[in-house]
Structure 1
């Protein structure tokens, strides 16, 4: 364990900055717990990588968080949840880490999003990797077999956000392009899920081009509520988590760049540390 890392913390992982939107919601709902956030910025974005590559990268980061004393890790990344979570849960945890848990963001969202659509028609905006995996089609169908799901990949959105261009006039072109492509698939879509934790930073622009009566859904509060319920139901995990209200942030990339971008996501300054 690195010095000065919070003990017995909840680990929160993302390929970059997007997971900070989930971290913020979790920390606001469960402020007493210790948290370690890890962004794999040196290898971000994950969206266009193969399943094997995303699995390998994600497993390396999860194991790093385990070494920091995190017995519970949240994959606050839709691409990692889609491409790596199942293998980690079914192969790695039982064989190497039977007392550890890794949770994702897809299932908690799929469990409730069907209730938000009056027309039973949901649109999903995500990375190429998330869309190609069809994870949302599969998971939503398990809970709401009568709901139709339409998907649209948005390959330019994460690069725009990671490079601080999400508020620029040029971003409007790509926001409108992908949103129009989704809504053209069905006039019945009344609920749109932002299936990437980066995308909440584009909400003001998305709302400019959203059709009247269409609800936009982000994941932070959903995941936070699901985690609180999980801890209530799994006292064997909850009891070993420390509650000092401490937080630490790590990145595989440049710490100065991480701090500058992270402040946009969190609305406050922070000082990250290098992943070693």
Structure 2
């Protein structure tokens, strides 16, 4: 297979916080980012809808030549990744790979939590999926997991209010609800890629000494390890240090918001992601 960029997908802008860390830690690789902004948010959509949309975007990135795609989206990782890996990749192309952000985040908490009490802050969709609970129990059955949905955090971030007094109110309220479940929580996973923009407020309202797991900082070294263990895939990833940004919505609007998440200005192109025939649903 010819070399191609690493595909990075998110329903909107949050995945740019993951891409930012990928570029910082693995700068030699090429990356192709796709934000499905026209159909965002995914967090409140059904399993089948998230699966359908995610599969369409993955296949679009495959059509651009990507051999490896990172789902830099918790909702897509929770509701679509397993079905795509197990049922769709064998019929599409068994040599390609799709990875998510939940498993690397889970792997990190084992060494961090001394009290074996871990909190998850996420969207309603991610929390309801129980994906973090399931994955943590698989790897660390002695860890108790406590979740808190934070439905206002993404709107605050996307409307540029992540440093506002209103953000203070909602961040403090949700963290109090989480800690009320168990005061011994010593590690908290930020289960949404938007949340790093709120990290200073999150740390402000968490007790001193609580570990905060931010996904970009976890996913980047995890990807480096994956590529080291899979040299054939590593050879299929082009290395020119180039970045390209695609959106399914207005490019100018994407560029305006993306600069906040990515930390620098970007140039984007609007694309149309065609619907695909789905042979399986996420309920299979």
> TM over 0.5: same fold?
yes
SS of residue in 1 equivalent to 2:181? coil
* Structure 1 position 184 matched with structure 2 position 180: yes
Asked if the contact 2:105–2:213 (Cα under 8 Å) also holds between the matched residues in 1, the reply is no
Q: Tell me the distance in 2 between the aligned counterparts of 1:112 and 1:194.
A: 12
| Residue 210 of structure 1, CA deviation | 1.3
The equivalent residue for 1:271 is 267
| Residue 88 of structure 1, CA deviation | 0.3
Which one of 93, 99, 103 corresponds to residue 95 of structure 2? 99
Asked if the contact 1:45–1:158 (Cα under 8 Å) also holds between the matched residues in 2, the reply is no
| Residue 252 of structure 1, CA deviation | 0.8
Q: Tell me the distance in 2 between the aligned counterparts of 1:86 and 1:254.
A: 30
Matches within 5 A, 1:78-227: 78-227=74-223
Q: Tell me the distance in 2 between the aligned counterparts of 1:210 and 1:235.
A: 41
| Residue 209 of structure 1, CA deviation | 1.3
SS of residue in 2 equivalent to 1:241? coil
| Residue 112 of structure 1, CA deviation | 2.0
| Residue 195 of structure 1, CA deviation | 0.7
What stretches of structure 1 move > 6 A for 4+ residues in a row? none
Asked if the contact 1:124–1:193 (Cα under 8 Å) also holds between the matched residues in 2, the reply is yes
Q: Tell me the distance in 2 between the aligned counterparts of 1:161 and 1:253.
A: 18
Which one of 25, 33, 37 corresponds to residue 37 of structure 1? 33
| Residue 212 of structure 1, CA deviation | 2.2
Q: Tell me the distance in 1 between the aligned counterparts of 2:62 and 2:194.
A: 24
* Structure 1 position 231 matched with structure 2 position 234: no
| Residue 176 of structure 1, CA deviation | 1.2
SS of residue in 1 equivalent to 2:142? coil
Asked if the contact 1:105–1:223 (Cα under 8 Å) also holds between the matched residues in 2, the reply is yes
SS of residue in 1 equivalent to 2:98? strand
The equivalent residue for 1:3 is none
TM-score (norm 1): 0.96
Q: Tell me the distance in 2 between the aligned counterparts of 1:267 and 1:8.
A: 25
Q: Tell me the distance in 1 between the aligned counterparts of 2:168 and 2:105.
A: 27
| Residue 275 of structure 1, CA deviation | 1.6
SS of residue in 1 equivalent to 2:85? helix
Asked if the contact 2:36–2:249 (Cα under 8 Å) also holds between the matched residues in 1, the reply is yes
SS of residue in 2 equivalent to 1:11? strand
Please list every run of 5 or more consecutive structure 2 residues that lacks an aligned counterpart in the other structure. Answer: 273-284
Q: Tell me the distance in 2 between the aligned counterparts of 1:28 and 1:213.
A: 26
Asked if the contact 1:128–1:153 (Cα under 8 Å) also holds between the matched residues in 2, the reply is yes
Asked if the contact 1:34–1:244 (Cα under 8 Å) also holds between the matched residues in 2, the reply is yes
| Residue 242 of structure 1, CA deviation | 1.2
Give the number of equivalent residue pairs: 271
SS of residue in 2 equivalent to 1:184? helix
| Residue 208 of structure 1, CA deviation | 2.0
**RMSD over aligned Cα atoms:** 1.2
Q: Tell me the distance in 1 between the aligned counterparts of 2:98 and 2:57.
A: 12
| Residue 91 of structure 1, CA deviation | 0.9
Q: Tell me the distance in 2 between the aligned counterparts of 1:135 and 1:87.
A: 13
Stretch moving more, 156-165 or 8-17: 156-165
Asked if the contact 1:13–1:77 (Cα under 8 Å) also holds between the matched residues in 2, the reply is yes
